[in-house]
């Protein structure tokens, strides 16, 4: 269906308002004033509403005109965004970016990256998905995500890799849990009958489609969850014990809502994982993906690495009198 309303009319409307008069808008748009007046009259006729109150020397917007102005600005913003996107695509900018993150990835780093991405590439749609272990690589291999971030358990053959940061896993419980009262290293028999909360793949690894089996299990009683937030909240509630990434548990450890335990079966740094960016070898990264990869490396290291404790200054010896 033919629509007589044109972008030229909407831009003229916005310019008249911004410049303060028809004549000023004509000068800004390098047209004669009669062309602007005709454009406004045609717009009013096509919309069947009065946009301008011409009862005074200087035309003013009617209430209906103010509503049209707001809509016109939104339309022009979208059109300008479309032009920028098309220009970027011609220059190699991706039409969209699709990412998939392992649940272990630090959420503050992801939010900061998305905030900066919106400012750096405002016209590029961004899709974020969170999965566990091998499900991340599966989405990248299938082409559902162009870039993924996985732990070692999620690495599969056929993907390129880019190391990001190291994540230290800590066995923790609520201070109200019986295991929190055990002094020193905890023997296996103490853990065997305590509920261990385990982060598991959504697919059942016993089925034919495969998957990653439950990891670091010491207890005969396990509760399996499919997302890290649920596991975190269950541990805080004292429902069991389990491993958490240090960056997730850090605030709770400082506030006393969680405490670290020491299973005899594990060394101090036995469960240290490496977050890795993965992508298909045939993927051609444009400026948006290259920017994301650099940001992920910096932000992930910022949030995952434990803070370096400040050294106390050694007091200087007083001079003898």
Sequence-distant (6+) residues with CB within 8 A of 180 are 173, 174, 259, 261
Write down the CATH number for the domain with range 97-164+276-304. Answer: 3.40.190.10
Residue 313: its pLDDT value, please?
43
3-state secondary structure of 98: strand
Q: What is the C-alpha to C-alpha distance for residues 131 and 150, in angstroms, rounded to an integer?
A: 9
The conformation of residue 319, written as its DSSP 8-state character, comes to P
In this prediction, residues 198-220 reach a mean pLDDT of 63
Sequence-distant (6+) residues with CB within 8 A of 186 are 179, 261, 262, 263, 264
Write down the CATH number for the domain with range 168-272. Answer: 3.40.190.290
Write down the CATH number for the domain with range 7-90. Answer: 1.10.10.10
The pLDDT confidence band at residue 157, using thresholds 50, 70 and 90, is confident
Residue 310: its pLDDT value, please?
43
The C-alpha R_g of the chain, in whole angstroms, comes to: 30
In this prediction, residues 286-293 reach a mean pLDDT of 86
56-110: pLDDT as tens digits: 777 788 888 888 888 888 887 777 767 666 655 655 567 778 899 988 888 888 8
Instruction: Give the residue with greater pLDDT, 281 vs 238.
Output: 238
Pairing of strands 97-102, 126-131: parallel
Q: What is the C-alpha to C-alpha distance for residues 243 and 260, in angstroms, rounded to an integer?
A: 9
Percentage of residues in the chain having pLDDT higher than 70: 85
Average pLDDT for the chain: 81
The pLDDT confidence band at residue 317, using thresholds 50, 70 and 90, is low
Residues of each domain in the chain carrying CATH 1.10.10.10: 7-90
The conformation of residue 248, written as its DSSP 8-state character, comes to H
161-192: pLDDT as tens digits: 888 888 888 999 999 999 998 888 888 888 88
Residue 208: its pLDDT value, please?
42
Residues of each domain in the chain carrying CATH 3.40.190.10: 97-164+276-304
Sequence-distant (6+) residues with CB within 8 A of 160 are 278, 279, 280, 281, 283
Residues of each domain in the chain carrying CATH 3.40.190.290: 168-272
Helix (H) or strand (E) holding 289: helix 287-304
In this prediction, residues 37-52 reach a mean pLDDT of 86
3-state secondary structure of 245: strand
Residue 217 predicted with pLDDT over 50: yes
Residue 212: its pLDDT value, please?
58
Ranked by mean pLDDT, the top range of 43-57, 116-130, 224-238, 269-283 is 224-238
Q: Where are the alpha helices (DSSP H) in 22-165?
A: 22-29, 33-47, 63-90, 107-120, 134-141
Residue 58: its pLDDT value, please?
76
Residue 1: its pLDDT value, please?
43
Residue 250 predicted with pLDDT over 50: yes
């Amino acid at each position: 269906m033919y629509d007589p309303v044109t972008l030229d009319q909407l831009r003229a409307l916005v310019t008249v308002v911004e410049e303060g008069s028809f004549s000023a808008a004509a000068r800004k748009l390098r047209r004669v004033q009669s062309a602007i007046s005709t454009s406004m009259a045609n717009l009013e006729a096509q919309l069947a509403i009065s946009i301008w109150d011409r009862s005074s020397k200087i035309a003013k917007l009617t209430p209906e005109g103010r509503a049209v102005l707001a809509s016109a600005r939104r339309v022009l913003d979208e059109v300008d965004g479309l032009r920028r996107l098309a220009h970027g695509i011609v220059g190699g900018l991706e039409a969209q970016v699709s990412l998939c993150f392992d649940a272990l990835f630090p959420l503050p780093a992801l939010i900061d990256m998305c905030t900066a991405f919106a400012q750096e590439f405002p016209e590029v749609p961004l899709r974020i998905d969170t999965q566990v272990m091998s499900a991340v690589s599966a989405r990248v291999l299938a082409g559902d995500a162009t870039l993924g971030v996985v732990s070692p358990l999620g690495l599969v053959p056929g993907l390129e890799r880019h190391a990001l940061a190291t994540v230290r896993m800590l066995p923790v419980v609520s201070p109200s849990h019986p295991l929190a009262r055990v002094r020193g290293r905890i023997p296996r028999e103490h853990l065997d009958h305590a509920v261990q909360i385990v982060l598991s793949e959504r697919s059942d690894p016993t089925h034919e489609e495969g998957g990653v089996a439950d990891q670091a299990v010491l207890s005969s009683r396990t509760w399996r969850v499919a997302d890290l937030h649920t596991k975190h909240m269950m541990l805080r509630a004292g429902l069991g014990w389990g491993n958490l990434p240090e960056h997730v548990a850090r605030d709770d450890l400082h506030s006393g809502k969680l405490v670290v335990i020491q299973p005899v079966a594990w060394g101090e740094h036995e469960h240290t994982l490496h977050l890795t960016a993965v992508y298909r070898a045939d993927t051609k990264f444009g400026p948006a993906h290259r920017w994301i990869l650099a940001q992920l490396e910096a932000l992930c290291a910022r949030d995952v690495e434990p803070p370096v404790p400040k050294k106390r200054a050694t007091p200087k010896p007083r001079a003898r009198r």
